[in-house]
Structure 1
């Protein structure tokens, strides 16, 4: 949620230089700890070619363990590889990822997957597995790559890399390459398990489909709270880590950048940091230590995000919140950098407080960047639009100038605060809060399309990478199809161009009486209007400036028998972008009748007659606002009231009556045709009666 924008002055920060990573005392201590824990490197003798293997047990429990293997080719290019080793204590591989593992007794062979067969000179590949053990679990004594024993060196004809996984990174190029991005929401972040919040198990086919739809990155929100052991080790469940790795591997195999994080941990336990620093620090450190170790050999296409939407309890002001976040981010950056391998230069993404884009939040994060002095970082904020519009409250039914200025102001602040200083920005989540296929009508479709088109344009022109929040409301993950193809089409078009829109995507025509012409205002957005498909200019429609008028004769023909509802759809085409679909609707004003019920179950009988509900007002007899959110007469769509078109009712929710005083309340229902009805409620305790006003 984006809170109202305060009148903060522009940031006083000057563009920051991109300096080499800082190494604090904390980073040195973390590095020492990791060395004591043990990153096991197996070497032996070899001749003409060369290779290096880093074998690491990232997690171990009674009878089982998780191992990560990173192979660096120090010889000539390889196209197709196998890595062999021998167990010395009877261990066995039980599950593998990013390779196929076979065994004959103690002899083990890991063979490349289809997507990681190529190993250029100085190139690296990683895979992992779960295993079993009894008695002891020593590392293999040696490894052989394609029959050649790995010694960690090479002949002079193939010089070894100077620092495996530790080359320089270009954060601006990486963030640009991540555009556009998509969130696998309500999945690995669901509590307690992947399918708990209604989404199916993730498949590689899903990720392949996301890539085929034009997305270049995915964000994997991950809640770890229910998947690790107790203090002091907080050992991550091996099966959970293996599942996370599997999805990361699948995504990388589909040529997607991947961003992983600590997600709902933010409000489950990280938020207690100000009053419980010792325990939160220990837990936070152990989790990121294990995650860093598990992914240290992964390529730069994997990105770490410290915390999702950080928030804190037990503080008295934002300065304390900023300090708490800065301390946790410093722990995160130092720990990841000290873990070695590719993590020394991996892109690390840091959020603002609440991941909010108010200027004070942006300035505080800039202060963090200055203190960290790390060249491979990016900023992240979230954007869910102007709040009244995003949930349909306070009359926020349209994408109007207020909504657009909120968007522009947010993106301008972010650009000035970070992008102009050389710090790339990821809009890690964006959408409208209450847009959901399970709650139709909360946001009118055409108004939503205008918002989507504008977000794409304003982000693109400011160099911001966007990652759509999709908890299942956009992509049907079971059928691998968009729930509304037109929504996807306008999002996709916005990545490269603008689309024309209009003041509405609906033309309402009364069912009875003479039919007159109807007009809409075109929003050209830099395009030129090309015409209405299937209709003839001059006869069926006229254009004067930005005013499009459909003639009475065309409407008469297209509406046919004029029965209620959408009778025809026409498309306005522009010189570029997605056509604008316009529904031609036959309607009569809605009618309502008396009702009796309770505060827990009250429905107003409503004959919609082709019309659709836009919003509802509630006022007491003295004209003051009734019900919840009493700073406005307009209540929140779906939360406080809900149309049911199939049942011909409008439901008033218990949440509405919970804050309504006994007595009379006048409801005003606003419909998209422009029609209104008024209805009087009388509440006495839990009993409610109602009747339409004449």
Structure 2
């Protein structure tokens, strides 16, 4: 990743895979989502039983789906420094049982290697890397091994220290190649993760990356043993799926004239949506088109020309992170994952989920999924589409008479089969009406029954079920417009008292009196969720971060506009004077 989720910066479908194993793995996820035994332990493959297809395209297809052992051997300086426990063999048993067919094992070598020639890697660390790789191989998994955060620690300095960086890079891969030369062909080498070069033009970057990739190729191939025909993975600049970057990589791959090469890129969605900035609160047409365009470029640049693509990292940069308020709304995130899996299958790209560890997807301590429902959506996308809707909440104002409320269904090629509340199927015509097959309207009578005593918050959860895939959950929420109060504080601790009254915060605009943008993100008035502001629902406040307040001009009035997912908008004035901050509620006008 551009950095780990801990430090934050920023397929091919199952196809030829064994259909029964994949289907059972998905069913396991749907039944509870916890790590569990393989569908048939006796049939589980081992390194000795996996037969790697001769064609690179077929081999990469057999690697779908894939998973990243993130923030572990790539952590700085040591394996447990970024919050994950030491890897055990049981982890890979779990990953295999959960339906994954390959793992990417990122490794940062910098702190375990001499910084001067001959750049010797510490023997104990090399041994540990080999132990972890062997555990994964023994489980019958394909393994991708790479040079990871070294990309921004010393490789980026190549423009100013060309010979020194190249010598260290070559030495690193010479040692890796020698250590792993006799491993089976299920081990794949990736030259470098998200390469970057500081103080260089685009043309210079392309030339330097070509030099690294070709040098990597020469070193591995000349090391003999299993490395003579091992699958090798080459990245674009930054692993970005931009057309120019992929064209440059295609030129490199074509020049090497080697049928055992793989192109690799990463994808974390349209940036504003991925971190919730610049108004990117929904998985809208812009975000969807960004994804569709990225996969079309992968198809046209590589796959149509016989070069397989391994999408080495995917996810959302700001979600999930269970240590902080959710910056991406849950239903919108699920729509992204559903769409992503479909698009990858459509063009034949193998995809590797970036998993930074316990606070995101797989809890490395318990070996259970932190969010079983989320992983169920990801697993389902490996094989089929699911229907969704324009949102996953229906807001019913408490202060007004209840009226009918509607959502638009996104069928995604499925057929709507009905609406359920628990085990009870709602009655069409009485409880809801379906217009033109996609416009779902809940009647006032149904909402009156579902909201019950009308306590603020979620009163009921419905399921829209479709002809295939997963049901779409719809929360019926009683709410009223939130209420903000005046506040005083310091730049290192300032909160706005907030009565949420069932609503959910989406984003915040910040502007000076002259209309210019206020805050540390000056290119948009919509500031970054969790970086500039964040809700604290248990304590009924909105927190303005020190980073945001420090960026404000002293003595100038700033108008904040808070947007909520119900559609409510509330304004608040703040002014900083030295390290003191005052906040004043702006009374809403009708």
Verify same fold: TM over 0.5. Answer: yes
Q: 1:117 to 1:282 in 2, by over 3 A?
A: closer
Q: Is 2:242 aligned against 1:242?
A: no
Residue of structure 2 aligned with 1:667, choices 553, 560, 571: 560
Q: Is 2:245 aligned against 1:361?
A: yes
Q: Deviations over 1:516-549 (max 9, x none)?
A: 1211000000000000122222222221121111
Residue of structure 1 aligned with 2:79, choices 185, 194, 198: 194
2:302 paired residue number: 418
1:339 paired residue number: 223
How far has the Cα of 1:177 moved from its partner?
A: 0.6
Cα pair 2:573 2:585 within 8 Å, conserved: yes
Q: 1:275 to 1:624 in 2, by over 3 A?
A: closer
- Which of the pair has the greater relative contact order for Cα pairs under 8 Å at 6+ separation? 2
Q: Is 2:116 aligned against 1:225?
A: no
Residue of structure 2 aligned with 1:462, choices 331, 347, 355: 347
Residue 297 of structure 1: SS of its match in structure 2?
coil
User: Which of the pair is proportionally richer in helix?
Assistant: 2
Cα pair 1:209 1:480 within 8 Å, conserved: yes
How far has the Cα of 1:488 moved from its partner?
A: 0.9
Question: Structure 1: how far apart are the matches of 2:214 and 2:48?
Answer: 37
Question: Structure 1: how far apart are the matches of 2:80 and 2:447?
Answer: 48
Cα pair 1:617 1:634 within 8 Å, conserved: yes
Cα pair 1:169 1:347 within 8 Å, conserved: no
Unaligned runs of 5+ in 1: 3-113, 124-166
Question: Structure 1: how far apart are the matches of 2:290 and 2:566?
Answer: 27
Q: How does 1:126-525 map to 2 (within 5 A)?
A: 169-315=54-200, 317-435=201-319, 436-472=321-357, 473-525=360-412
Q: Is 2:525 aligned against 1:633?
A: yes
Question: Structure 2: how far apart are the matches of 1:409 and 1:230?
Answer: 41
1:538 paired residue number: 429
Q: Deviations over 1:402-445 (max 9, x none)?
A: 00111111111111111111000011001111112223320000
Q: 1:118 to 1:177 in 2, by over 3 A?
A: closer
Q: Is 2:482 aligned against 1:590?
A: yes
Question: Structure 2: how far apart are the matches of 1:428 and 1:191?
Answer: 20
Residue of structure 1 aligned with 2:448, choices 551, 556, 562: 556
Cα pair 1:566 1:586 within 8 Å, conserved: yes
Q: Deviations over 1:300-327 (max 9, x none)?
A: 1110000000001232x11111111111
Unaligned runs of 5+ in 2: 3-43
How far has the Cα of 1:658 moved from its partner?
A: 2.5
Question: Structure 1: how far apart are the matches of 2:48 and 2:454?
Answer: 64
Residue 99 of structure 2: SS of its match in structure 1?
coil
Cα pair 2:459 2:477 within 8 Å, conserved: yes
How far has the Cα of 1:234 moved from its partner?
A: 2.2
Cα pair 2:47 2:139 within 8 Å, conserved: no
Cα pair 2:49 2:140 within 8 Å, conserved: no
How far has the Cα of 1:118 moved from its partner?
A: 6.5
Question: Structure 2: how far apart are the matches of 1:666 and 1:257?
Answer: 54
Question: Structure 2: how far apart are the matches of 1:461 and 1:119?
Answer: 29
Q: 1:314 to 1:623 in 2, by over 3 A?
A: closer
Residue 128 of structure 2: SS of its match in structure 1?
helix
Q: Deviations over 1:77-114 (max 9, x none)?
A: xxxxxxxxxxxxxxxxxxxxxxxxxxxxxxxxxxxxx9
Q: Is 2:574 aligned against 1:684?
A: no
1:577 paired residue number: 469
Residue 275 of structure 1: SS of its match in structure 2?
coil
How far has the Cα of 1:379 moved from its partner?
A: 0.4
Stretch moving more, 300-309 or 683-692:
683-692
Q: Deviations over 1:458-513 (max 9, x none)?
A: 11100111101110211122122222222111111111111000000011111233
Question: Structure 2: how far apart are the matches of 1:168 and 1:681?
Answer: 63
Question: Structure 2: how far apart are the matches of 1:230 and 1:384?
Answer: 32
Cα pair 1:169 1:345 within 8 Å, conserved: no
Cα pair 1:168 1:345 within 8 Å, conserved: no
Residue 196 of structure 2: SS of its match in structure 1?
coil
Structure 1 consecutive aligned stretches of length 4 or more whose deviation exceeds 4 Å: 114-120
Cα pair 1:383 1:429 within 8 Å, conserved: yes
Residue 159 of structure 2: SS of its match in structure 1?
helix
Residue 255 of structure 2: SS of its match in structure 1?
helix
Cα pair 1:172 1:424 within 8 Å, conserved: yes
Residue 250 of structure 1: SS of its match in structure 2?
helix
Question: Structure 1: how far apart are the matches of 2:60 and 2:45?
Answer: 23
How far has the Cα of 1:230 moved from its partner?
A: 4.8
Q: 1:575 to 1:210 in 2, by over 3 A?
A: same
How far has the Cα of 1:168 moved from its partner?
A: 8.9
Residue 136 of structure 2: SS of its match in structure 1?
helix
Cα pair 2:45 2:140 within 8 Å, conserved: no
RMSD: 1.8
Q: Is 2:578 aligned against 1:693?
A: no
Question: Structure 1: how far apart are the matches of 2:296 and 2:235?
Answer: 17
Residue 642 of structure 1: SS of its match in structure 2?
strand
Q: 1:514 to 1:488 in 2, by over 3 A?
A: same
How far has the Cα of 1:586 moved from its partner?
A: 1.2
Question: Structure 2: how far apart are the matches of 1:399 and 1:653?
Answer: 26
Q: 1:115 to 1:241 in 2, by over 3 A?
A: farther
Q: Deviations over 1:154-177 (max 9, x none)?
A: xxxxxxxxxxxxx99321111101
TM-score, length-scaled by structure 1: 0.75
Residue 158 of structure 2: SS of its match in structure 1?
helix
Equivalent residue pairs, number: 537
Q: Deviations over 1:599-628 (max 9, x none)?
A: 222110111111110000111122222112
Which structure has the larger Rg? 1
2:458 paired residue number: 566
Question: Structure 1: how far apart are the matches of 2:363 and 2:47?
Answer: 32
